[in-house]
Amino acid sequence: MKVKSENEPGVVADVVCDMCGVSARGQAGHLQYGTMRAAWGEGSAHDGEVYELHLCESCFFAQVSAMKRERWLGVFLEEEGDSILRNDTYGLVRKFEASDDASEQPDIPD
Ligand SMILES: [Zn+2]
């Protein structure tokens, strides 16, 4: 959950992990978090509902691990099963370069 600044309403002062409740501000002082978003449309059970959850690094990768495990359970007897467990880039879109501004999260393509 994003916590807005009391003095500057448009500014995000902190991000609190929606899973563990801890601030997502890292040791270097930068906010480090993952975002899970959904906007459900016509034909879905949650039509018209929009969600946005924020996860600290630890909880984000716990969720990635849980997703990999769920996926693996569905296919572990098939050839694809082993590749899912060995995939260290599950869900990874790209890595940003060291020269990127570390104070901002990289753009995530839609
Ligand atoms: Zn957390």
pLDDT tens, position by position, 1-56 = 998 888 888 888 899 999 999 999 988 889 999 999 999 999 999 999 999 999 99
Look up residue 108 and give its two tokens.
Answer: 């995530």
Which residues are in the CB-under-5-Å shell of ion ligand 1?
17, 19-20, 56, 59
Predicted local confidence at residue 102, as pLDDT? 53
pLDDT (tens digit per residue) in 51-89 = 999 999 999 999 999 998 888 888 777 776 677 777 778
Ligand 1: centre distance to CA 79 (Å): 33
Look up residue 29 and give its two tokens.
Answer: 């002082």
- Taking all residues of the chain, what is their mean pLDDT, rounded to a whole number? 85
Total Cβ atoms within 10 A of residue 53: 16
Three-class SS state of 84: helix
Enclosing H/E stretch for 53: strand 50-56
Ligand 1: centre distance to CA 42 (Å): 32
Residues counted in the chain: 110
Ligand 1: centre distance to CA 80 (Å): 30
Total Cβ atoms within 10 A of residue 104: 10
As a whole number, mean pLDDT of residues 100-104 equals 57
Predicted local confidence at residue 1, as pLDDT? 92
Three-class SS state of 25: strand
Higher pLDDT, 109 or 29: 29
Are 50 and 35 in contact, with CB atoms under 8 Å apart? no
Cα separation, 35 vs 85, in Å, equals 23
